[in-house]
């Protein structure tokens, strides 16, 4: 993949983190535009590579990259901007509902590539638990594959302190059933993001995550980019 210089992005985002207000952002908007364009070029390049294995026809970074403006309506933190650049690469883009590759570039070692059920609905979580209860073999084969373990270690997420309602505490898959989130996460240091091979490393992480995302998307009932998730 093409090499990208993320040093200006990390510097800008670090400064934004310490000056998170409209006046500062307005006076540095041209810098933001430059770093955003670099990030979008990176996402477009990643999409081009992933098209060989994923159904990303006609997708571009424009449908995947998230706004830097924060939604502050329902939070005590009224900082107007995110101090990271992020995108969700999935069929149909970030708003499609598909589980996709989440890529985030942030300062002070806060960059990551992740995917999975981060904020699942009750229905999604119930569906995951039913699938695990009926047979966890396929999922365990995916998350124990060498490429997955190399990139993500193990699946992450908040867990219940005890068994979920309707399941025995001594269920053979109780560790999976207790999950309230089902995510794969690879975190990157600033030096890793600045390394010339970071785009290749990002692509490797996405490819290792694909079977995990395929499993979840199949579980949620997705078959093509135009199909909405069943209610």
Q: How far is Cα of residue 74 from the mean position of the Cα atoms in its chain?
A: 22
Paired strand residues for 183? 116, 156
Predicted TM-score (pTM) of this structure: 0.93
Q: Identify the band that residue 102 occupies on the pLDDT scale cut at 50, 70 and 90.
A: very high
Q: Measure the CA–CA gap between 95 and 66, rounded to whole angstroms.
A: 10
The stretch 122-145 carries a mean pLDDT of 97
Identify the pLDDT of residue 223. Answer: 61
Q: For 60-92, what is each residue's pLDDT tens digit? A: 999 999 999 998 888 888 999 999 999 999 999
- CA dist list (Å): 191 to 103, 128, 165: 17, 36, 44
User: What is the β-pairing status of strands 182-188 and 85-89?
Assistant: unpaired
**3-class DSSP assignment, residue 100:** coil
> Is-contact 54 115, C-beta < 8 A?
no
pLDDT tens for 183-218 read 999 999 999 999 999 999 999 999 999 999 999 999
| pLDDT tens-digit map of 149-175 | 999 999 999 999 999 999 999 999 999
In 64-160, where does DSSP find H-type helix?
122-134, 137-143, 146-152
Q: Which of 39, 37, 20 minimizes the C-alpha distance to 111?
A: 39
């Amino acid at each position: 993949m093409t090499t990208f210089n993320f040093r200006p992005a990390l510097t800008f985002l670090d400064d934004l983190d310490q000056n998170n207000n409209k006046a500062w952002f307005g006076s540095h908007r041209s810098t933001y535009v430059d770093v955003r364009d670099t990030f979008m070029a990176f996402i477009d390049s990643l999409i081009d590579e992933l098209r060989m294995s994923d159904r990303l026809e006609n997708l571009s970074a424009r449908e995947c990259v998230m706004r830097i403006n924060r939604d502050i309506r329902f939070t005590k933190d009224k900082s107007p901007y995110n101090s990271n650049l992020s995108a969700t690469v999935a069929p149909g883009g970030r708003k499609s509902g598909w589980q996709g590759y989440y890529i985030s570039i942030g300062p002070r070692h806060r960059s990551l590539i992740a995917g999975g059920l981060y904020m699942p609905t009750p229905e999604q979580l119930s569906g995951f638990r039913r699938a695990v209860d009926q047979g966890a073999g396929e999922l365990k084969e995916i998350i124990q594959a060498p490429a997955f373990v190399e990139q993500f270690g193990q699946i992450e997420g908040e867990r219940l302190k005890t068994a979920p309602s309707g399941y025995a505490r001594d269920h053979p898959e109780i560790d999976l059933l207790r999950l309230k989130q089902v995510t794969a996460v690879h975190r990157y240091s600033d030096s890793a993001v600045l390394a010339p091979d970071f785009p290749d490393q990002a692509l490797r992480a996405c490819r290792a995550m694909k079977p995990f995302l395929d499993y979840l998307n199949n579980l949620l009932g997705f078959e093509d980019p135009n199909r909405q998730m069943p209610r």
